[in-house]
Structure 1
């Protein structure tokens, strides 16, 4: 169900790749985090969830609320969901251009069980803290006892598996909920990147490079997973890498690495479809995007 965009909710961002010469950005100590690239979907809309509460109740046109689940789970017995995880039980987003609310979720305690379906058993756990981020995630659907969120990690490894943006359900009782006042909207064809909030649109860039046809920039909804400066990536000239939660639909990894994460980053060539999926920006643009907190929604449109 698509709802009209809410200025305080979703962010659309185009990811930038891993590793210097090839235009990909690797996670610092992780070697070769490649930028995700997938044929761009359309824009995702934010829901009109009231900003006075972090969670929107089930909508009038939505399905009946899922039953509450108070079962105690040992999260140490559940697979970790993080940037490196490959978990066939975790769903790929079936509505990449769909809405999100203005809520962000972060696990309480050591972490929270993640459900592919609120009527089933948990398929993994999302930690509260992780070196590579991905633990503050945007809510794309909300009920009284459950929130559906975007997740780091992959369901499968390309080219055989689906490496697209993953989703899962968390119990409201297991998470800390906050609101976000802004989101990022990227338009590949128009070559524009905006930070959108209740105050309006802030144009961040009108000139950037994106993925080649063979390694396209992924489109759809994702989020800011982790932001860091990687001095050894000299091509960034000291500017931050802004990693997103989505990975490449066509690359298993990059330069010997086992991940293919997309990111925004600085690169000297910033025109046309020339990257491995990353978005190449100038210094001021990437520095501005680096100010956005973890979990900020990003919407990448074709």
Structure 2
């Protein structure tokens, strides 16, 4: 009996050991399995990757294309060029091709002794505009403005009427040769309405509501011109009032009163109504006094 009891206890102990061993193996398997599952989840959910934002290359901006005619820095001998002056006839100067076009509200005057004048900015100069001269006409209105050039109205003629077109002439000046000054004024003349206004961007001022102008054979020139100069001359009919001379001359007269010019002007006259003059515009005292206050270079538009 004692031997059988000892055998039973050994069998129970062995069985208990087997159970303990199996339990330990199972526990290890569970731990390892959880570890693998966690590892699998970690592998399937990748960590967020921080990537650098690519730096954009700057967009190249095109170099602005210069507008207008190219710059001209050449030097010219004034002595070789014909002077721009009221008595001069220069066939190389173009006649204004836009007689009612806008002006730029700017006047130009040569900076030093004078400036070369070009009919074509890409060609050679055809004349010379002094900074100052006896009959003035050196402060001129700009009708087109570019970076290197300005197109202006000028005094003088391309031709006398009997030989060609005596209309208002123009030319090009280099901006490096001139000083530019704002001029807000312009004069508007209507022959049919017989009105004269001094106009600015702010409004108009009526100067005259009747005046005399050119007869049929000696008409007042139409289109745009400018105030060449203002002077008081010893003429009986002006009675001591100033004359406001314009840049444009008669379309029918080669000369007038023994002179080789036929300049148009605003001036005082006792007889001052209707188409009766040789081309000048005759005004009363108040009107001529007001126009005489305007600066040289002021544009003047004369319309039918």
Select the structure of larger CA radius of gyration: 2
Q: Post-superposition shift, 1:194?
A: 0.4
Provide, for residues 12-63 of structure 1, a one-character-per-residue CA deviation record: whole Å limited to 9, x for no partner: xxxxxxxxxxxxxxxxxxxxxxxxxxxxxxxxxxxxxxxxxxxxxxxxxxx9
- Unaligned stretches of 5+ in structure 2? 1-65
Match of 1:262 in 2: 264
Match of 1:99 in 2: 102
Provide, for residues 163-191 of structure 1, a one-character-per-residue CA deviation record: whole Å limited to 9, x for no partner: 11000000000001000011111111011
1:145 paired with 2:142, answer no
Q: Choose from 74, 78, 81 the match for 1:78.
A: 81
Given that 2:67 and 2:147 are in contact with CA atoms closer than 8 Å, whether structure 1 keeps it comes out as no
- Unaligned stretches of 5+ in structure 1? 1-62
CA distance in structure 1 between the partners assigned to 2:144 and 2:225 by the alignment: 14
CA distance in structure 1 between the partners assigned to 2:145 and 2:184 by the alignment: 17
1:219 paired with 2:237, answer no
TM-score calculated relative to the size of structure 1: 0.78
Q: Post-superposition shift, 1:198?
A: 2.8
CA distance in structure 1 between the partners assigned to 2:230 and 2:79 by the alignment: 27
Match of 1:127 in 2: 130
Q: Post-superposition shift, 1:265?
A: 0.3
Moved over 4 A (4+): none
Provide, for residues 229-281 of structure 1, a one-character-per-residue CA deviation record: whole Å limited to 9, x for no partner: 002x0110100010000011111001221001100000111111001111000
Q: Post-superposition shift, 1:108?
A: 1.1
Q: Post-superposition shift, 1:64?
A: 5.0
CA distance in structure 1 between the partners assigned to 2:190 and 2:261 by the alignment: 25
CA distance in structure 2 between the partners assigned to 1:140 and 1:291 by the alignment: 22
Match of 2:292 in 1: 290
**Superposed, which structure 2 residues align to 1:3-152 within 5 Å?**
64-152=67-155
Match of 2:166 in 1: 163
CA distance in structure 2 between the partners assigned to 1:279 and 1:142 by the alignment: 31
1:176 paired with 2:179, answer yes
CA distance in structure 2 between the partners assigned to 1:286 and 1:136 by the alignment: 21
Given that 2:67 and 2:146 are in contact with CA atoms closer than 8 Å, whether structure 1 keeps it comes out as no
Match of 1:202 in 2: 205
Given that 1:159 and 1:249 are in contact with CA atoms closer than 8 Å, whether structure 2 keeps it comes out as no
Q: Choose from 221, 233, 236 the match for 1:234.
A: 236
Matched positions, count:
239
Match of 1:60 in 2: none
Given that 1:237 and 1:266 are in contact with CA atoms closer than 8 Å, whether structure 2 keeps it comes out as yes
Provide, for residues 137-160 of structure 1, a one-character-per-residue CA deviation record: whole Å limited to 9, x for no partner: 000011100000000000011111
Point out which structure has higher relative CO (alpha carbons under 8 A, 6+ apart). 1
CA distance in structure 1 between the partners assigned to 2:140 and 2:232 by the alignment: 21
